[in-house]
């Protein structure tokens, strides 16, 4: 993958950032005079940031999201053929590390809305020691509902299938251009996309200063494949646990779960019909999902021979191929907590490749965000202490404080929220 910005690497910003230019003049009530903020990315970081700014009447927030849906890496895949089957392919569950007022606020908001509830981790095998002492939460209707609910609360204008291609921040306003070449002016643009993806996909005028680009380039994300099996009919997977991490570091499958067991608990009346597998990072990352699918299935077959033997595998998204797998004769490996006791029935197999999956190396010396000049900010999970939900929250919170500090006569969020 080539960076679109390589030709700009040696350039310098013309002027050092001038914070006074960004300070918002006292705005009147008129909508046209509110500060126009573009949040690029409809994931958790963007949703949380907009949530923290929502009570301020000074902002008119627009979100550009390149995909069809909100959530980003908090993604939930719904079966196209089997009603009621769904699986989280990215973020699995929330673990509460931080205890700030903003963390309290977001967890309480999602809890009160019924979006998250406590997760019983005694049914997750091979978790890190000490995990049972921490608080964990599941998303009852899928992890993408976390982002959706946050965004709904913000009253932002969310534009889906809108991919940012370039930013011109050389003037008083930032000109954002989408893939179709349409341009719109904003007072401030906040990018919540993983930094390596920004470098790959977005061009800047003026180009990012070389030294700044070098620090951005220190941020590393790993790639990872997820694979979902949807079983139809009365299929009921017989398992003693809802999820499991691999017992051995070298296993190709590093984590798997049964979605219904994770969301509804082991005692639910619902059938267990959906399994999701996460593979070792970087495995097959240069293959397309269609190319990787047979290889991923082979790993599942080796680890869980009873689960897929004789099952019809459909690949709806990438090919129309429907093929019948011969029973695998291979020995069952040590993830053997999973088996089935009913007749195999047709299933959908859906691979998903996360090219920018999880933070391997976070932004160095982060204050929660990075300013490019006066009017462009980059934030997200690689700017938090941890590359997870709490990291998004920390980065969104610090970015919100920064933006709010640019308003006249204000200090930080906590003592000036307008109700
Ligand atoms: C496999 C996997 C497992 C994980 N497990 C957990 C877990 O169990 N617990 C946990 O807390 N965290 C987990 N995480 C991490 C968690 O998902 C992330 O920290 C979080 O979702 C990041 O949110 P974000 O908003 O910062 O970024 P993203 O979710 O990446 O959001 C960025 C958004 O920007 C959009 N976008 C990209 N480019 C453009 C463009 N040019 N124009 C417009 N929009 C664009 C994307 O479509 C996306 O919606 C996991 C992640 C993965 C991939």
Most confident of 38-52, 299-313, 394-408: 38-52
Look up the pTM and report it. 0.86
Whether the pLDDT of residue 26 is over 90: the answer is no
Tell me what pLDDT residue 30 has: 60
Domain ranges of the chain: 6-94+140-220+361-415, 224-354
CA distance 223 to 201: 17
Tell me what pLDDT residue 6 has: 27
Whether the pLDDT of residue 413 is over 50: the answer is no
Question: Can you tell me which atom of ligand 1 is nearest the CA of 357?
Answer: 53
pLDDT (tens digit, 9 = 90+) per residue, 149-195? 999 999 899 999 999 999 999 999 999 999 999 999 999 999 999 99
Q: Are 55 and 419 in contact (CB under 8 A)?
A: yes
Whether the pLDDT of residue 344 is over 80: the answer is no
Cα of 386 to ligand 1 centre, how many Å?
A: 13
Cα of 182 to ligand 1 centre, how many Å?
A: 26
Higher pLDDT, 335 or 241: 241
- In this structure, the residue with its CA closest to atom 53 of ligand 1 is 357
Q: Are 268 and 120 in contact (CB under 8 A)?
A: no
Mean pLDDT of 206-221: 97
pLDDT (tens digit, 9 = 90+) per residue, 392-411? 999 999 999 999 998 875 44
- In this structure, the residue with its CA closest to atom 19 of ligand 1 is 388
Cα of 72 to ligand 1 centre, how many Å?
A: 4
Residues 318, 321, 326, 329, Cα dihedral to 10°: -10
In CATH terms, the fold of domain 6-94+140-220+361-415 is: FAD/NAD(P)-binding domain (3.50.50)
Q: If you average pLDDT over every residue of the chain, what do you get? A: 83
Question: Can you tell me which atom of ligand 1 is nearest the CA of 72?
Answer: 49
pLDDT (tens digit, 9 = 90+) per residue, 84-94? 899 999 999 99
Place of tokens 């290889």: 295
Question: Can you tell me which atom of ligand 1 is nearest the CA of 391?
Answer: 19
- In this structure, the residue with its CA closest to atom 48 of ligand 1 is 72
Whether the pLDDT of residue 419 is over 70: the answer is no
- In this structure, the residue with its CA closest to atom 52 of ligand 1 is 90
Place of tokens 């590359």: 387
Q: Are 123 and 260 in contact (CB under 8 A)?
A: no
Whether the pLDDT of residue 209 is over 60: the answer is yes
Cα of 253 to ligand 1 centre, how many Å?
A: 21
Q: Are 27 and 34 in contact (CB under 8 A)?
A: yes
- In this structure, the residue with its CA closest to atom 49 of ligand 1 is 72
Whether the pLDDT of residue 41 is over 80: the answer is yes
Ligand 1 pocket test, candidate residues 193, 276, 382, 384, most atoms within 8 A of CB: 193
Higher pLDDT, 332 or 415: 415
Question: Can you tell me which atom of ligand 1 is nearest the CA of 162?
Answer: 43
Question: Can you tell me which atom of ligand 1 is nearest the CA of 194?
Answer: 30
What are 96's strand-pairing partners?
135
Ligand 1 pocket test, candidate residues 50, 52, 62, 90, most atoms within 8 A of CB: 90
Ligand 1 pocket test, candidate residues 41, 75, 124, most atoms within 8 A of CB: 41
Question: By percentage, how much of the chain surpasses pLDDT 70?
Answer: 79
What is the token pair recorded at 400?
């919100």
Whether the pLDDT of residue 336 is over 50: the answer is no
Mean pLDDT of 116-138: 94
Pairing of strands 376-379, 174-178: unpaired
Whether the pLDDT of residue 356 is over 60: the answer is yes
Tell me what pLDDT residue 31 has: 61
- In this structure, the residue with its CA closest to atom 37 of ligand 1 is 193
Mean pLDDT of 219-233: 93
Ligand 1 pocket test, candidate residues 225, 388, 396, most atoms within 8 A of CB: 388
Higher pLDDT, 47 or 83: 47
**Ligand 1 pocket, CB under 6 A:** 40-46, 64-67, 72-74, 90-94, 163-164, 192-194, 197, 201-202, 224, 226, 278, 354, 357-358, 380-381, 387-389, 391-392
Question: Can you tell me which atom of ligand 1 is nearest the CA of 147?
Answer: 25
Tell me what pLDDT residue 316 has: 34
Whether the pLDDT of residue 371 is over 90: the answer is yes
């Amino acid at each position: 993958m080539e960076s679109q910005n390589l030709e700009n690497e040696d350039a310098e910003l013309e002027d050092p950032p001038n914070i006074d230019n960004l300070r918002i003049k006292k705005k009147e009530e008129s909508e046209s005079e509110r500060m126009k903020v573009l949040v690029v990315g409809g994931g958790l970081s963007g949703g949380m940031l907009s949530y923290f700014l929502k009570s301020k009447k000074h902002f008119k927030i627009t979100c550009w999201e390149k995909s069809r849906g909100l959530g980003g890496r908090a993604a939930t895949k719904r079966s196209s053929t089997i009603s009621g089957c769904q699986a989280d392919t990215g973020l699995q569950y929330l673990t509460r590390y931080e205890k700030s007022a903003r963390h309290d606020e977001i967890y309480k908001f999602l809890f009160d809305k019924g979006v998250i509830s406590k997760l019983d981790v005694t049914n997750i095998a091979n978790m890190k020691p000490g995990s049972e002492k921490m608080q964990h939460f599941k998303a009852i209707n899928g992890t993408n509902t976390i982002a959706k609910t946050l965004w709904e609360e913000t009253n932002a204008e969310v534009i889906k299938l809108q991919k940012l291609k370039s930013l011109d921040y050389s003037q008083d306003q930032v000109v954002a251009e989408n893939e179709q070449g349409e341009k719109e002016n904003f007072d401030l643009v906040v990018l919540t996309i993983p930094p390596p993806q920004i470098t790959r996909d977005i061009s800047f005028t003026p180009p990012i200063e070389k030294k700044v680009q070098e620090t951005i380039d220190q941020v590393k994300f790993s790639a990872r494949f997820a694979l979902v099996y949807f079983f139809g009919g009365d299929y009921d997977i017989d398992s003693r646990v809802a999820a499991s991490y691999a017992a051995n570091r070298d296993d190709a499958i590093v984590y798997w779960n049964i979605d219904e067991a994770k969301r509804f608990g082991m005692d639910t009346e619902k059938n267990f019909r959906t399994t999701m597998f996460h593979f070792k990072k970087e495995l097959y990352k240069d293959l397309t999902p269609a190319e990787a699918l047979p290889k991923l299935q082979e790993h599942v077959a080796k680890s869980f021979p009873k689960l897929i033997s004789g099952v019809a595998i459909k690949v709806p998204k990438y090919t129309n191929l429907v093929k019948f797998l011969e029973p695998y004769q291979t020995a069952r490996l040590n993830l053997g907590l999973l088996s089935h006791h009913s007749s195999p029935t047709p299933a959908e197999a859906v691979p998903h490749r996360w090219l920018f999956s999880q933070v391997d190396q976070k932004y160095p010396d982060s204050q929660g965000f990075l300013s490019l000049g006066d009017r462009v900010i980059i934030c997200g999970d690689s700017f938090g202490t941890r590359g997870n939900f709490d990291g998004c929250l920390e980065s969104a919170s610090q970015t919100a404080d920064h933006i709010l500090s640019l308003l006249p006569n204000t200090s930080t969020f906590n003592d000036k929220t307008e109700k």
